[in-house]
Structure 1
């Protein structure tokens, strides 16, 4: 079993990235509360630099690299948001970066990563993207992994740190916190912070059908490869890691799975009832919230809106 990240690790990460990221707000959503029939807090990470929570982990990782590791250039594999964050952070720091994405990654993320100065390379699918990134790492580049890194995981946990502190300040701590799951670093880090600061609060992961790396790992008793068929590329990790699996097994109440169509409808509901543009990776939390309320009536919900980087239909 991997060593679990602690609240102290998350506090260290928060100090590491201070000034480099947006301290995003946690707000009430009267519209979504009326829609769901329960109090709702929203952690607005779609307002974060590059449009998702991902720069937190990238900045923290960059702070730990040696001069030689920086000079070698960074390589990242991503369904969209992680690659865009690496491109943004590396470009601002004057560091070369190669970002490998599957061909079905959001076009806006591909374009934005290139505009930030990254060399974006497209592959047929996400497993091929991971394979190419591994080749580039073997050739000497410095890998910035999207989730299999305790430094990154602790930095993503700063989302949960801020959420928990905001909820305490508002005097309305949630009974249930919902977090989207790709490789699981955000869910893991949020669970560490929330469980430490809000004891008794349930933390839930949410995946989409065809991007069920964490559900599969929990069912198998450890990380196992999955076939990616979901259109929600920003959740499409080909497997969880031992690091994220161990955190989720220990700290997360359950992982729910919703269809792509429900995730897309959830994005529409966030726009119509909360005034938020969010990608389906965040939209999936809305149908999952309904499932939770069916089994836990009276729940007070907090949803981590992880990002906004989805293509707009033409």
Structure 2
């Protein structure tokens, strides 16, 4: 299990390489949901998502030989962007493997940063290819199955705990579980009374299915939200969520896209559906906890173009 000391060490290591993103009360979301809402704005991170934290923590921990070998990562979009940009800053050669469903903008950004991008037909194929490239000698920077990465993502929770006012419930999106594992570890140490809720979309339910099964299991992926689409969680992230998170909620793709539109309208935030899913989940939380809730939302990323969101909105009849 990742402890607060590992997260504090990661925070010290990555300081100067990442942005301490704003933690702000949101009057618009508070009015929309009817309770005080505070948002941690990781979409303002230097790579457009929290992923820069874990990628930086991992790259800075590598030996000279591991750096010289070059690094490789599998990604639905944001981890690939983060690895590409961080590797470029540290003069490390990077390869990023993404499924063709990854946002075109993510591929463009990774390539512009100097990474070699390899595309596969689906996420299962992406994980298979990255495993082969690792076996051929590249240094793997896993998006969530790595203690250094989880500790890096945990710095989000460390900052949230330090910068937010009173909170009763914090909501965090789940793909492979690296973000919520780190955030939960930090919050349990710094704000032990806060309830922690994970959020997935239908068709990307690796963590909720793992909790039902008692451990990581492969899942079928069909969600449009590629940045949450992990074919399985890891034992590392499962252990943290099963021990530290109150519950994992599942919302539909349509609700996630609608959440992104509402975040734009009410919070003036341009988010991807991986963050938009927090709003419908927040309504479920409020139904369960009743009066007196003070919500915290980890707004994980904003790497979706206007065209992406409008296309999804049109598909679901939200325009």
Q: How much has 1:62 moved relative to structure 2?
A: 0.8
2:60 aligned with 1:63: yes
Whole-angstrom CA distance in 2 between matches of 1:207 and 1:289 = 12
Q: How much has 1:174 moved relative to structure 2?
A: 0.8
Q: Deviations over 1:188-219 (max 9, x none)?
A: 11001111111210001000000000001000
Moved more, 219-228 or 194-203: 194-203
Residue 100 (structure 1) aligns with: 97
Q: How much has 1:312 moved relative to structure 2?
A: 2.3
Residue 304 (structure 1) aligns with: 298
Whole-angstrom CA distance in 2 between matches of 1:163 and 1:174 = 10
Whole-angstrom CA distance in 2 between matches of 1:220 and 1:239 = 12
2:245 aligned with 1:252: yes
Whole-angstrom CA distance in 2 between matches of 1:295 and 1:9 = 33
1:107/1:311 contact within 8 Å kept: no
Superposition map of 1:1-314 within 5 A = 4-167=1-164, 172-298=165-291, 299-313=293-307
Taking structure 1 as the reference length, what is the TM-score of the superposition? 0.97
Q: How much has 1:92 moved relative to structure 2?
A: 1.4
How many residues matched? 307
After superposing on structure 2, the runs of 4+ consecutive aligned residues of structure 1 that deviate more than 3 Å are none
Whole-angstrom CA distance in 1 between matches of 2:91 and 2:152 = 22
Q: How much has 1:64 moved relative to structure 2?
A: 1.1
Q: CA RMSD in A?
A: 0.7
Whole-angstrom CA distance in 1 between matches of 2:246 and 2:113 = 38
User: Structure 1, unaligned stretches of length 5 or more?
Assistant: none
User: SS state of the match for residue 193, structure 2?
Assistant: coil
Whole-angstrom CA distance in 2 between matches of 1:199 and 1:233 = 32
Whole-angstrom CA distance in 2 between matches of 1:150 and 1:137 = 18
User: SS state of the match for residue 51, structure 1?
Assistant: coil
User: Structure 2, unaligned stretches of length 5 or more?
Assistant: 312-319
Q: Deviations over 1:225-263 (max 9, x none)?
A: 001100000000000100000000000000000000000
Whole-angstrom CA distance in 2 between matches of 1:212 and 1:122 = 23
